[in-house]
Structure 1
């Protein structure tokens, strides 16, 4: 294994915050060359570039930053635009804080973390551009889904405390037709204040739920168009829709972030982890990684569990061998991760994402 310390002239560790960033330039032997504190704005980023030019002992520089997709995103973009390699570093664990905690100390620990990295396994941050557009849509969809679920629960709870007609409506599926029926209801003369308020609140919730469903449909259409442009053929795979396909693109990000399909499976948390003891020999699913990617694979497997003849044959064979359904699902998720990331077997989807980023794309609206 070749470490980063053997291939660079210096590394820079960065501890990023909302207002300021602390940076330290470190030699390959771990000695501090220079330190810098900057404001988290364009002027501060320009100071970093000038500081690197002044103090760097050579051209081979690697920068390790915490939060490259949060507080450190501006600095990461500036450095990448200047041709400097940026890698993602994790927040130091408590066991490594023997010298205490401060921004300069965290910057030094970030630099040491980069020096100890395997040079062929550097943690590259996710890409900007069109991939970021899909991530934004997925984040918005998550928030809309959570809000709509809460509104449906509130509406059902409200109707359950009403009269017989209300309690009947509380048990129906909240389709657009049923929501329209709830929204069109009018009060009767002589109703109590409680009934009037309940009816008005139910009407407002029904309209909000219906609007939320339409917003989700528009969101899904945008995702479908973006995924079709960036990964042609991905949605043709059984079980892969706009949402799960978009999550695959966001997590994969770009060619090189996952070195091979096993790394992609580890990122998704579907690599088998040994869990044997004594005469028991078994594996369990990993519980780390990108949980949204894990959920996307889970949704794909559930669809194939219902509809795919090959999956049905595998399930029957595995059950005959004594495997439980959770073990079968774990194996299917691992196989699905292999199918959706292997360059030779899936050449029209994830392996073409980076190339599609470089092609001019048509408008998605």
Structure 2
């Protein structure tokens, strides 16, 4: 009876095909560890095994956004209190070694001690849908950039008979001209014909990627506007920027306890770097860099077009601040507006 009432904390080291779980008591003493399959049946067996040691308080999980996403969704659906656990740093791994049981026990102890206290994203709402669509769009944009670079390189080094008709054309006209080139497939040992074939293939790829990106945008714009109308209404926030900020916050932005927490997550909160009588802060190079870039985009847009922001930049410039320092200040103010808009949007979604 006492064992059933004993508080138990779990820790899970996640992998592609298996998950390794460990259970510890309230003092961090190891009660057991075991490996389970990364399947629906394995999730059920893992949870039953953890509960067999006593009253399950919470579970620390590594990689809730990757290998542990399915397990995290299952545990959350079963009412388990989840904690996001970062992998051990290199110094700890050098001193204590690396194995699945060691990592699972470390995750459990980090959860029971409070060292790991982050709430993972639920990944069960409209933001997860937006994230999936953005993954496909981002891949298409990256591939299109690579294809355009290849196209420019081929034209630059092409034989004069090919290059003369293409050099200097605007981008759209150049892509159309390359895609409409005629090719003799029987003369692929001729540099001119081979170059024409390569240009046509790459230009056709660019056109296909343009179509894919346009389709992704048509799917994303209404999804983002419906999920976060107040966020998209902010000055300088378009569908792409709003989609990134939503993805960073997740479907449960209440896990961000304050605007300061969001600023830290976006890498927009300065880090204390004081020593002795020196009181200073340094640039935060951590956090979600994609979210930080989204804030940077908003700041640049406002610095160029928003009268209020331009007045602020002029005033701070007269005070001796450099442009980079002014942008850092603007990011912090923007985070405040973003946090307020996100909370309002998700409150409206939850009550709809």
Shift in Å at residue 198 of structure 1?
0.9
- Aligned: 1:124 with 2:119: yes
Match of 1:262 among 239, 260, 263: 260
1:24-63 equivalent positions in 2, closer than 5 A: 24-56=22-54, 58=55, 61-63=57-59
For the aligned residues, what is the CA RMSD? 2.6
Match of 2:151 among 133, 146, 155: 155
Match of 1:222 in 2: 219
3-state SS of the aligned residue for 2:215? helix
* Gapped regions of structure 2 (runs ≥ 5): 1-5
Match of 1:363 in 2: none
Match of 2:3 in 1: none
Q: Is the 8 A contact 2:221 2:239 kept in 1?
A: yes
- Aligned: 1:242 with 2:245: no
Shift in Å at residue 332 of structure 1?
1.0
Match of 2:20 in 1: 22
> Partners in 1 of 2:296 and 2:230 — Cα distance?
20
- Aligned: 1:251 with 2:244: no
Q: Is the 8 A contact 1:24 1:34 kept in 2?
A: yes
> Partners in 1 of 2:80 and 2:53 — Cα distance?
15
3-state SS of the aligned residue for 2:58? strand
TM-score (norm 1): 0.86
Q: Is the 8 A contact 2:82 2:119 kept in 1?
A: yes
3-state SS of the aligned residue for 2:253? coil
1:57-78 superposed Cα distances (whole Å, 9 cap, x missing partner): x2x5200011112111222121
Match of 2:207 in 1: 210
Match of 2:108 in 1: 111
3-state SS of the aligned residue for 1:223? helix
Match of 1:312 among 305, 310, 313: 310
Match of 1:11 in 2: 9
Match of 2:330 among 329, 332, 337: 332
Q: Is the 8 A contact 1:144 1:216 kept in 2?
A: yes
Shift in Å at residue 280 of structure 1?
7.9
Shift in Å at residue 19 of structure 1?
2.1
Shift in Å at residue 136 of structure 1?
1.2
Match of 1:353 in 2: 346
Match of 1:193 in 2: 190
* Gapped regions of structure 1 (runs ≥ 5): 1-7, 360-365
Check 1:124–1:173 CA distance in 2 against 1; reply closer, same or farther (3 A cut).
farther
Q: Is the 8 A contact 1:248 1:296 kept in 2?
A: yes
Bigger mean CA offset, 249-258 vs 166-175: 166-175
Q: Is the 8 A contact 2:230 2:345 kept in 1?
A: no
Task: Compare the two structures and name the one with the higher helix fraction.
Answer: 2
